[in-house]
Amino acid sequence: MQPTEFTLTDLVEIMRSCAGVDEGVDLAGDIGDTPFVELGYDSLAVLAFQARIQERTGVPMPDDTVTHMPTPNAAVEFVNRQIQAGVR
């Protein structure tokens, strides 16, 4: 059963479980518009998030998707746009 919506909470859970959390970063805080790199996640970590997002939502996430998602909010918006456009 594929979800009809992807939320920031879903993304934070993925971030936490597949890449851990840097010291001094609070993922429960207001991090939606903070760039991934400032949250301590390098490009490898963002690639890891993409693989898990694709697994969970069915939205294809080719490697160049990384350019569409500099921040958590941007990533959530991108995924939801793809879901609404029927790209699965």
Partner 1 sequence: MTSVATAVPATARRTGDARNAAVVTGMSAVTAIGVGLEEYWRNLLAGACGIRPITRFDTTGYPLRVAGEIPDFDSARVPSRLVVQTDRWTHFGLLAGELALAHAGVDPAELPEYELSVHTASGSGGNEFGQRELQALWAEGPSRVGVYQSIAWFYAATTGQLSIRHGMKGWSGVLVAEQAGGLDVVAQARRSLAQGSAVVLTGATEAALNPAAFTSQIAGGMLSPVGEYLPFDEAAGGYLPGEGGAMFVVEPAERAVARAARPYGVVAGHAATFDPAPGRGRPPGLRRAVETALADAGVAPSDVDVVFADAHGHPSADAAEARVLTEVFGPRGVPVTTTKAATGRLVAGSAALDVVTALLAMRDGVIPPMVNVRRPAFEIDLVLGRPRPAALRTALVLARGYPGFNAALVLRAAAQN
Would you tell me which residues interact with partner 1 (CB under 8 A)?
A: 18-23, 40, 44-45, 47-48, 51, 54-55
Tally of residues, the chain: 88
CA torsion, points 76, 10, 13, 60, in degrees to nearest 10?
Answer: -60
Nearer to partner 1, 3 or 60 (CB): 60
CA distance 83 to 41: 25
State the Cα–Cα distance between residues 46 and 63, nearest whole angstrom.
10
Q: Which is nearer to partner 1, 58 or 84 (CB)?
A: 58
For residues 25 and 68, give the distance between their C-alpha atoms in angstroms, rounded to a whole number.
23
Min dist CB 55 to partner 1, Å, is 7
Nearer to partner 1 (CB atom), residue 16 or residue 84: 16
Least distance to partner 1, CB of residue 56, Å: 12
**Shortest distance, position 25 Cβ to partner 1, whole Å:** 9
